[in-house]
Amino acid sequence: MTTVQRPHEYGSREARDHWKEILDIAESGSVAVVRRNAPVAVVSRQVLDDALAVGSPFNVQVSFFEGQVSMWIDGLPTHGAGDTLDEAEDDFLNALEDYADDWIDDLHRAPNHQAHGGRVRRILLCAGDRDLLRRVVFDEAEPV
């Protein structure tokens, strides 16, 4: 049976030969699909983050109490604290990165953690870029 190839869809071998074209497609705001064992979408970081943000916003809560600043997200088992807002932000971002690592390693299997996959993927999309992570977490209203 012969399959008809759709626009912007590539087999895995073909994708290697058209990688620049695939990246151009993703950077233009569209999507390319690469088929191997399962189809994989190639999209820009921003397009994926925008889609994930709808169902997985950060909505950071902040408390100032007795000289301590605390930050958390309701339902997410992370928090940050510090003597100043900047210290609390840094501590909170560290906690988010640690949680994302733990989620990928093991927690994704736990029923009470599975719902956090969208936020974890948003953290991972920042690829270790701390300034980008800070903007994504704290400046949700502004595009990155």
* pLDDT the model gives residue 4: 47
Residue-wise pLDDT for 76-87, tens only, equals 999 999 999 999
Residue-wise pLDDT for 77-124, tens only, equals 999 999 999 999 999 999 999 999 999 999 999 999 999 999 999 999
Residue-wise pLDDT for 56-68, tens only, equals 999 999 999 999 9
* pLDDT the model gives residue 139: 86
Domain spans of the chain? 9-43, 57-138
Residue 8 main-chain phi, psi, to 5 deg: 65, 25
The answer to whether residue 38 scores a pLDDT higher than 50 is: yes
Give the pair of three-digit tokens for residue 111: 């029923």
d(CA 58, CA 3): 42
pLDDT band at 37 (very low <50, low <70, confident <90, very high): very high
> pTM for the complete prediction?
0.84
35 SS3 class = strand
Specify the CATH number of the domain 57-138. Answer: 3.30.160.620
CA max distance for the chain: 71
Q: What is the CB neighbour count within 10 angstroms for residue 125?
A: 17
